[in-house]
Chains A and B, each alone.
Chain A
Amino acid sequence: MTTEQLVLAAKQGDDKAFFQLVSTEKERLYRIAFSYLRNETEALEALQEMTCRAYAKLSKLKEPRYFNTWLIRILIHYCIDEQKRKSKVLSITHLTEPLKAPHADLDERLGLEEAIEKLDPRYQHIIILKYYQDMTLTDIARLLEKPEGTVKTWLNKALTQLRSQIDPKGGAVFVKS
C-alpha cells in the first residue's frame, strides 16, 4: 500500500497501518531525534511521544501524502521543547550544585553541538536538518512551512552565529585549508 492508502486506513482506525507508517520511517526519525537530543534513551522517548501525538491528532492531518513531513514536524517540535525543558532543569541544578570541571574530557565536537543547541530553534532546525539529515533547503522549507527564501536567510544567519559562538576570534578551532 502507498503512504496515502495507509494513512486513510489508519484514519479509519487501522492501528496496524498506522504502525507500519511510522515503523518504515523509524531509522530516519531516530537519527533526527538523536541529532537533537544526542542520547539514545531520550531519542527513543521522543519517538514514543511523537507516535503518541501523531496518533492522537491523526484526524487533523489534511494531506495524507505529507504524512512523513508532518511526522518529522511533530518530532522536531518535541525535540526543541525537550531541549528547553532540559536546559531549565540544568540551570536549576547549576544553582544548587555547581558542576565539577564540566566537559573536561569531551572532544571538541561537543563545542559545536553545544553551539548548535544554543541557537534559536529556527536556526537549529536548519543546521540539523541540512547537515545532519542531508535534507535539501526545499524539503526543509516545506517541513517548517516557510518560503525557501526565508530558510536560506536563516541558514546564513545560523552559520554566522555558529561561527561567532564557536570561534569568536576566528581562531583555531577548525582546521583551515
Chain B
Amino acid sequence: MSNHDSVELELGLAGSKGTDIKLPDNIDSYLSRGIEQGKMERRNVKTRMRRKVLSSAAACLILLTCIFTIRNSPVFASIIRDIPGMEGLVNLIQKSSDKGIQLALQNDFIQPLGVSDEHENVKLTVEGIVVDEARLVLFYAIESLNPNKEYNLNSPDLTDAGGEKLKVGIRWGNSGGRDESEPRGVHRGTIDVLLIDGEMLPDEIVFKAKLEPLDENGFNAPVDLDATEPPQIVENPSIIEGYRIAIPIDHAKFAGMKEEYVLNQTITVEDQHISFVKATVHPTRIAIEVQSDDGNSKQVFSAGDIQLVDEKGEVWRSIGSSGMIHDKAVLFFESSYFHKPKKLYVEGSWFRALDKDKMDVVIDTERKLLIQAPVAALKLKSISPFGKSYTKLTLAIEVDPEIDDIMGYSVLDNKFKDASGKEYNMADIGGGVLSGSSGRGKMNTQESYQYLDYKDYKQPLTFRVINYPNYIRELYKIRIK
C-alpha cells in the first residue's frame, strides 16, 4: 500500500474521532455575545467613516486649538512629571484641549494607574483616569517594541467586571499620522466617556481594545467622496486583539461634587421661544438642558456659538451635545468647577432653525428631479448608481463662507418615505455610510451624501431635514450662578 494511503487512513481515523467531540451546551450564549459585538462593530464602522469624511475640514480647526492650548501650566506639569511613568501623560495633557480636564489635573483630580496588557510585543497602558459621576477621561499609551511599527487603537469598549457592556457614550479618535512629539513606537491618546444622567460606573470597569498598525505612510486611506462603489472593508490581518485592562473606580474621590442650578429661563429669538431648564456642574463637565417651545413656528435644531463665561470674562467652550433642541437637548461644556468662578453665565447669539412647514425635501430619484426643497440654496447635485445595489444622492447647499458654519452634520434624517407613505431607512452600507457633508470644492458650496438601497420606490421620495445651516439670531446671556 502506498504511503499516501496510510496517511489517508490515519486521517480518516482521526476525522471520525472528531465526531465524538462533546458539544458544550452554552454555545448559544457565545452566539448572542457575537451579535452584540457585531452591533458595536457596525456602529464603529459608521462613525469611523463619518469621522474620516470630516477630517480634512476638521484638521485645520484641531490644529488651531492645539496651538492655543499647549503649555497651559508649567508648574503642575513639573509636579506630575516627578511621578515615575507619568512624563508622557503630562505631554498628553498639555495637548488636551479641554480646559476643564486640564484644571481637574492641576487640582490633583487624576487617578494615576499605569496598568497594562501586552500582546505580541505591543503594550497598551492606561496611564491614568479623570473621572466623576458624569464623565470619564482615560489616558492611554501604546508602546511597540518595534519602533518602526506603530499602532492605533481600534474598537475600544468598556464593560463591567462581569463583561456587561456599560451604558455610556464613548468618544475616541485616531489622529491618522504619527505624533512627532512622542518617541518612535509610542502613541498616546484619550478615550472620552460621557455618562447618561442617572447611570453610575461600577467599582471596577474593564477596558477592552484591539490595536491596529498604522500603515507605512502613517495615514488611513482617505475616503473617496466621488466613489461609485461601496468601499471594500479589508480586514487588516495584523490587528492584535484581546487587550483587556481592569480599572478601579474610586467613587469616594468624587462623591458629592455635583452642583445643580435650576434656571427655568426662556429667551425669544426671532419669535421662537427657547428655554434653559437647568445646569449641572461636575468637575469634568457642565451640562445644560435646553428645549424649544412646541408652539414655535420654526424647528430649532442646535445652538451655534453657545459658551459659558464667568465674571472675569473667562470662556468655557461647548464640547458637544446630545439630542436636538426641539426634543430637549443636553449641551455639554468644559467645566469651571475647579476655577470656582463667583458668577457664571451661558451666552451666545444664534441657533440653527428652519420653518416647520419647510422641513421636507421631495426628490424623484428616478427622474433625478428635486421637487421641493426647504430653501432655494439647497440643490440636487447628482443621483448616481453606487455599486450594484445602492443609489447615491448628492445634495449641494450654497452657503456664505463669511457667515455660515462648516457643516459637520448630516442634513437629512436617516428615515424617508415613498409616495405611498411607506417608510424606509437609508442604506446601511457594509463599508460605512458616508452620510455627512464636506466643505470641499467651491468655497460657497457644501455637499451632503446619502445612500439609498436600490429599489423600485413609488416616486417621489420625501426626506426630512434634521439639521440645516439656516439661522435665527439674537444676543442672549443667562446667569447660571
Is B177 an interface residue when CB atoms closer than 8 A count as contact?
no
Binds A, one of B20-28, B54-62, B128-136, B412-420: B20-28
Within 8 A of B (CB), among A33-73: 34-35, 40, 44-45, 47-60
By the criterion CB–CB under 8 Å, are A59 and B31 in contact?
Answer: no
Partner of B38, one of A27, A34, A53, A89: A53
- B residues in contact with A163, CB < 8 Å: 3-4, 6-7
Partner of A56, one of B14, B31, B38: B38
Is A4 an interface residue when CB atoms closer than 8 A count as contact?
no
Partner of B14, one of A53, A109, A159: A109
Is A7 an interface residue when CB atoms closer than 8 A count as contact?
no
- A residues in contact with B18, CB < 8 Å: 31, 34-35, 132-133
For residue B5, give the distance in angstroms from its CB to the closest CB of chain A. 8
- B residues in contact with A44, CB < 8 Å: 24, 26-27, 30
Would A112 and B10 be within 8 Å (CB), given that A15-B35, A55-B34 are in contact? yes
Q: Could you say which of A60, A113, A173 has the most chain B C-beta atoms within 10 Å of its C-beta?
A: A60
Report Cα–Cα, A176/B45, bound state, in Å.
55
Chain B residue with the shortest CB-CB distance to A21: B31
Report Cα–Cα, A49/B7, bound state, in Å.
33
By the criterion CB–CB under 8 Å, are A127 and B11 in contact?
Answer: yes
Report Cα–Cα, A93/B93, bound state, in Å.
36
Partner of A131, one of B15, B31, B32, B38: B15
Report Cα–Cα, A54/B37, bound state, in Å.
11
- A residues in contact with B477, CB < 8 Å: none
Is B341 an interface residue when CB atoms closer than 8 A count as contact?
no
By the criterion CB–CB under 8 Å, are B6 and A23 in contact?
Answer: no
Chain A residue with the shortest CB-CB distance to B22: A40
Within 8 A of A (CB), among B119-139: 119-121
By the criterion CB–CB under 8 Å, are A112 and B28 in contact?
Answer: no
Chain B residue with the shortest CB-CB distance to A59: B430
By the criterion CB–CB under 8 Å, are B6 and A48 in contact?
Answer: no
Report Cα–Cα, A30/B22, bound state, in Å.
10
Is B39 an interface residue when CB atoms closer than 8 A count as contact?
yes
By the criterion CB–CB under 8 Å, are A174 and B38 in contact?
Answer: no
Chain B residue with the shortest CB-CB distance to A55: B38
For residue A127, give the distance in angstroms from its CB to the closest CB of chain B. 7
- A residues in contact with B15, CB < 8 Å: 131-134
Is B9 an interface residue when CB atoms closer than 8 A count as contact?
yes
By the criterion CB–CB under 8 Å, are B10 and A174 in contact?
Answer: yes
By the criterion CB–CB under 8 Å, are A57 and B233 in contact?
Answer: yes
By the criterion CB–CB under 8 Å, are A131 and B34 in contact?
Answer: no
Q: Could you say which of A48, A57, A134, A160 has the most chain B C-beta atoms within 10 Å of its C-beta?
A: A48
Within 8 A of B (CB), among A50-104: 50-60, 81, 85, 88-89, 92
Q: Could you say which of A23, A55, A133, A162 has the most chain B C-beta atoms within 10 Å of its C-beta?
A: A55
Would A26 and B21 be within 8 Å (CB), given that A52-B38, A59-B428, A85-B120 are in contact? no
Would A132 and B14 be within 8 Å (CB), given that A51-B34, A166-B7, A174-B9 are in contact? yes
Is A120 an interface residue when CB atoms closer than 8 A count as contact?
no
Binary interface encoding of chain A residues 163-176 relative to chain B, with 1 for a CB under 8 A from any of its CBs, else 0: 10011001001111
Partner of A167, one of B3, B38, B233, B429: B3
Report Cα–Cα, A117/B120, bound state, in Å.
20
Q: Give me 20 A-to-B residue pairs in the complex whose CB atoms sit less than 8 angstroms apart, sorted by A's number.
A: A23-B27, A23-B31, A30-B24, A34-B18, A44-B27, A48-B33, A51-B34, A53-B38, A54-B38, A55-B35, A55-B39, A55-B42, A60-B430, A85-B240, A131-B8, A159-B7, A163-B4, A167-B3, A170-B3, A176-B6
Residues of B participating in the A interface, judged by any CB pair closer than 8 Å:
1, 3-4, 6-12, 14-15, 17-19, 21, 23-24, 26-28, 30-35, 37-39, 41-42, 45, 119-121, 233, 237, 240-241, 428-430
Instruction: Given contacts A35-B18, A54-B38, A132-B15, list 16 more A-B pairs with CB under 8 A.
Output: A15-B35, A19-B32, A22-B34, A26-B27, A27-B23, A30-B24, A30-B27, A51-B34, A51-B38, A53-B38, A56-B42, A57-B233, A60-B233, A131-B11, A159-B4, A163-B7
Residues of A participating in the B interface, judged by any CB pair closer than 8 Å:
15, 18-19, 22-23, 26-27, 30-31, 34-35, 40, 44-45, 47-60, 81, 85, 88-89, 92, 109, 112-113, 127, 131-134, 159-160, 162-163, 166-167, 170, 173-177
List the 6 closest A-B pairs by CB distance, nearest first. A51-B34, A55-B38, A56-B41, A131-B15, A52-B37, A60-B430
